[in-house]
Amino acid sequence: MTDSTDRFGNPIDPTVGYARGPVLRSTAEEVAKTLHARRIVRALTAARGREKIVDLSGMNRGAGLRASDLAHLDSHVPFFAAFEGEAEPLALRHMGADPGRHDALVLNRVSAANFLALTTLLRTGDRVLALAPPGGVTHPSVVRPIAMAGAVLDQHHAIDSLAAAWRFAPPRLLILTPISASKRHLTLDAFQRALDLPRGSDTLVYVDDAHMASRVGFFGEPRTFEVGPIDLAVCSSDKHVAGPRAGVLVGRKDLITALRSLAYELGLEAQASQYVGVMNALRDFDPKPIAEAGELAKDLLRIVERRYGERRVYLGGPGVSMTGEDALDVGREIAGRPVSLALVPVEASALVALEMLATDGILTIAAVAMPGSAPVVRLMMYPDGVKVGAEGIADSLHRALESLGGMLDDAEAARRRLLGDAQRA
């Protein structure tokens, strides 16, 4: 494996950080896979009932609304009267910010926040240094707008490597990813040491803290702005938070003021019901269920370590993860026959996810993830892990890996499972 290829020699697409394959060839196929998974959920719910779907995505993505909210959402007039300006103070509290120095903006996606901030702050030729956890990458929703702005990204996975690059010259922007999409974790020490690096007069720090709730609830770490001096940061209102999918952008007041104007120009601001759902989720955030999910994840880890080996699975916060590369290897061992691989890791992780969903009604991130999501089997114990238990989840995973083993050299079978009616030759 090199920086440009995966373990199997497949060339890595630098934008998303993984190899494209014969089935998931582009964003178009990844979207088709996600829509197919949604249709499976709909069909299973109709056939078995909602309670038979087990959500191991680590995300809620419900509306986050209360019955009492609805009377204030039948037009913008009661919405303004009841809710305008209520979410932002909660966002500051949630991220540990200072109301005297910081402001907040609620946007329709974390990706929207990344796009808005990075295309606004960066100019052609600007130098960007990024620190992501070992084994993880800076999210594609960060990488893409950097490229759109014409800036130059230099990504690192160790604080000493980042510090060495910093000595050449402080960057225009430092981007930190405390927890990657693959659920790799940057240590708090590395996070803080990166914030301590000497900044130039125009250096800004941007933290993609989408998984802040996991940092706080599972790792027991401080909230974003309590870690150190940060100019801008974004977190999610749905990742281990019981809210709708949205991005909560917090930062220096002058920066948020400028970004707010552009957000309204581009239509990126959260709309009424979404805004209220975010408000409720931030107000009611409780890290205790995340810690409890983490204990179940540790039980699951012990089971799958015994089955597949300690090097093939890891604790991804309050969940257990297996890379798509390791899924291919495990599938090949289960198959028990010589196999010439026709699939790449992102297809393997997606196949495992679709099999767990279609067969056992277990919904995981890789089934319904957006394009660019990490090629990793992620079994998050929040919110529904207790409904099945560690043994039940482990057994479902093994059945899915057995199914993967039968498709390793059969791209057409994989296409049918991944894309359903949307398959194409």
- How many other CB atoms are found less than 10 A from the CB of residue 258? 14
Mark residue 124 as left, alpha or beta (left: phi above 0; alpha: psi -120 to 50; beta: remaining).
Answer: beta
Which residue is it, tokens 């810690």?
Answer: 291
Residue 2: predicted pLDDT: 59
Domains of the chain (ranges, CATH numbers): 12-58+287-422 (3.90.1150.70), 67-283 (3.40.640.10)
CA distance 136 to 45: 34
Length of the chain measured in residues: 425
CA dihedral 373→376→381→382, nearest 10 degrees, is 0
pLDDT tens column, 1-15: 457 899 999 999 988
CA distance 290 to 267: 33
- How many other CB atoms are found less than 10 A from the CB of residue 273? 17
Q: Both tokens of residue 338?
A: 């010589």
Residue 425: predicted pLDDT: 42
Taken in order 45, 51, 52, 53, the sign of the CA dihedral is positive
pLDDT tens sequence for the chain (425 residues): 457 899 999 999 988 889 999 999 999 999 999 999 999 999 999 999 999 999 999 887 788 899 999 999 999 999 999 999 999 999 999 999 999 999 999 999 999 999 999 999 999 999 999 999 999 999 999 999 999 999 999 999 999 999 999 999 999 999 999 999 989 999 999 999 999 999 999 999 999 999 999 999 999 999 999 999 999 999 999 999 988 999 999 999 999 999 999 999 999 999 999 999 999 999 999 999 999 999 999 999 999 999 999 999 999 889 999 999 999 999 999 999 888 999 999 999 999 999 999 999 999 999 998 888 889 999 999 999 999 999 999 999 999 999 999 999 999 999 999 999 755 44
- 373 CA to centre of own chain: 7
Query: Cis before residue 383, ω within 30 degrees of 0?
Result: yes
Contacts of 56 (CB under 8 A, 6+ apart): 319, 362, 363, 364, 379, 380, 381, 384, 385, 393
pLDDT tens column, 38-95: 999 999 999 999 999 999 998 877 888 999 999 999 999 999 999 999 999 999 999 9
- 77 CA to centre of own chain: 35
- Report the relative pairing of strands 362-363 and 247-252 from DSSP bridges: unpaired
Nearest to 161 by CA among 134, 196, 199, 181: 134
pTM value is 0.90
